[in-house]
Chain A
């Protein structure tokens, strides 16, 4: 369903993600946890391209959504002039590939460019024509729920719900309204369909935001700290909605600080620290016997 391969993200000189690889199967529920600044949100936001990765690839439903990364394709590396030159100077294939992948070349944008030769360029282009999917159609399949809800304040709850289905998915207005109402019903917000977002509590806003995301009928939903901006007494109503959603078999990735919740709903816990995915384990194993010192220290602090 989702394949993140060797993902790097730099913000200037800050390396937020440093080679994250993650596979998510259809219907899996993954919680991404870790200290703040570990790159959790950036990883999540790379999956619907709100962040553009510096290096690496993201695949969603077997379609490539980022530009191809030559470092992830041995045949492409072998077609490059750099590789050929290093081989001609008397290298071993495995050795040269390792050198290219580990070397400072990773930082050289020049590697993507013309000096690597036509064969190399062509192979990259073929990957694009065979597998690339444009950002807009990816975003229709991948929904996102934000920490600060981001409802449109000038539209009523119902208008928030139907705008994208009508505009983007070309659903008929009547059908969109019908669908929106049944989703609002399921999150207990139907009574507020004509209210403006600013009249709602945080928990209510987040429930509407979740329903708005589901109105697009996504295959995957990303939750970016969905309860972090809520008053404590409202956390439960939102978590209950997410829990119910988890049982429907939809694929979900959550960045969360709610450890009890993560343990309860997740199939796997991914622990991220300083941009590196250092643990990826079922919740029972992760919470009872974490492998790394970092995870142990982290859990000691938060549990």
Chain B
């Protein structure tokens, strides 16, 4: 069989807008996930039992159920029992965000626990209240140690967004499927998609490294 990569060029406009959908979903999910992970990790380290239980149950659900099932549940299932309606984008983003919040909060908990007791004591001795202590003293240090796993989470999030093709959103994968069904060619589109993702992930890893180096400037001796 003759390979013909010119079809990719013909579909470039579609790929372009699909790429935007992929990036949009990833970035929105990550930001929302990050936001959700902070109260969730605070629940995990708190002394209040019900909060701990809530966070533990939450995490176990999002870890224990396959992501695709979660996406279907949110898009098809939930609107049937609750008075809510999601677009495919909303449902996808929400699930990815809640899912990564579960994972991020887990590594965040580890990062917080790794912080020296003395940091809390110094903050308390200076009369700093709990919210300020967490926001300005503890979390900035914890996030630093969590950054590598945060970059990992970002990368797997980016790759997981392909699942939104299954609820009808036209992301990069969906464009590939369209090309396949129109032209009966599979190698070229999926090869192109693989390259897209590979380049994106490499770019992200690089950015992550840069960010880590920037954040670690206070460690320079």
**Interface residues in chain A, defined as those with a beta carbon under 8 Å from any beta carbon in chain B:** 48, 50, 136-137, 139-140, 142-144, 146, 148-156, 163-164, 167-168, 196-199, 212-213, 216
- Report yes or no: A146 in contact with B132, Cβ–Cβ below 8 A: no
- Report yes or no: B125 in contact with A139, Cβ–Cβ below 8 A: yes
- Report yes or no: A216 in contact with B126, Cβ–Cβ below 8 A: yes
Q: Give the number of residue pairs across the A-B interface with Cβ within 8 Å.
A: 73
- Report yes or no: A48 in contact with B218, Cβ–Cβ below 8 A: no
- Report yes or no: A139 in contact with B127, Cβ–Cβ below 8 A: yes
**Contacting residue for A168 out of B116, B127, B219, CB 8 A:** B127
**Interface residues in chain B, defined as those with a beta carbon under 8 Å from any beta carbon in chain A:** 116, 118-119, 121-122, 124-129, 132, 136-137, 140-141, 144, 217-221
Residues of B within 8 A of A143 (CB): 125-126
Main secondary structure of the interface of B (DSSP, over half): helix
16 CB < 8 A contacts A-B: A50-B124, A139-B124, A150-B118, A150-B119, A150-B121, A150-B122, A153-B218, A153-B219, A154-B218, A163-B128, A167-B132, A196-B217, A196-B220, A197-B218, A212-B126, A216-B126
* Given known A163-B136, A196-B218, A198-B218, contact A152–B125 (CB-CB < 8 A): no
Residues of A within 8 A of B126 (CB): 139, 143, 163-164, 168, 212-213, 216
- Report yes or no: A152 in contact with B124, Cβ–Cβ below 8 A: no
* Given known A198-B221, A199-B220, contact A146–B121 (CB-CB < 8 A): yes
Task: Give the residue name and chain of the B residue nearest to A195 (CB).
Answer: B218
**Contacting residue for A152 out of B119, B129, B132, CB 8 A:** B119
* Given known A136-B129, A164-B126, contact A50–B141 (CB-CB < 8 A): no
Q: How far is the CA of A148 from the CA of B218 in the complex (A)?
A: 18
Min distance, Cβ B159 to any Cβ of chain A, angstroms? 31
Q: How far is the CA of A142 from the CA of B124 in the complex (A)?
A: 11
- Report yes or no: A146 in contact with B221, Cβ–Cβ below 8 A: no
Min distance, Cβ A163 to any Cβ of chain B, angstroms? 7
- Report yes or no: A168 in contact with B128, Cβ–Cβ below 8 A: yes
- Report yes or no: B122 in contact with A50, Cβ–Cβ below 8 A: no
Residues of A within 8 A of B118 (CB): 146, 148-150
**Contacting residue for B141 out of A148, A154, A199, CB 8 A:** A154
- Report yes or no: A153 in contact with B221, Cβ–Cβ below 8 A: no
Q: How far is the CA of A50 from the CA of B127 in the complex (A)?
A: 11
Q: How far is the CA of A212 from the CA of B123 in the complex (A)?
A: 11
Q: How far is the CA of A40 from the CA of B153 in the complex (A)?
A: 47
Q: How far is the CA of A143 from the CA of B124 in the complex (A)?
A: 10
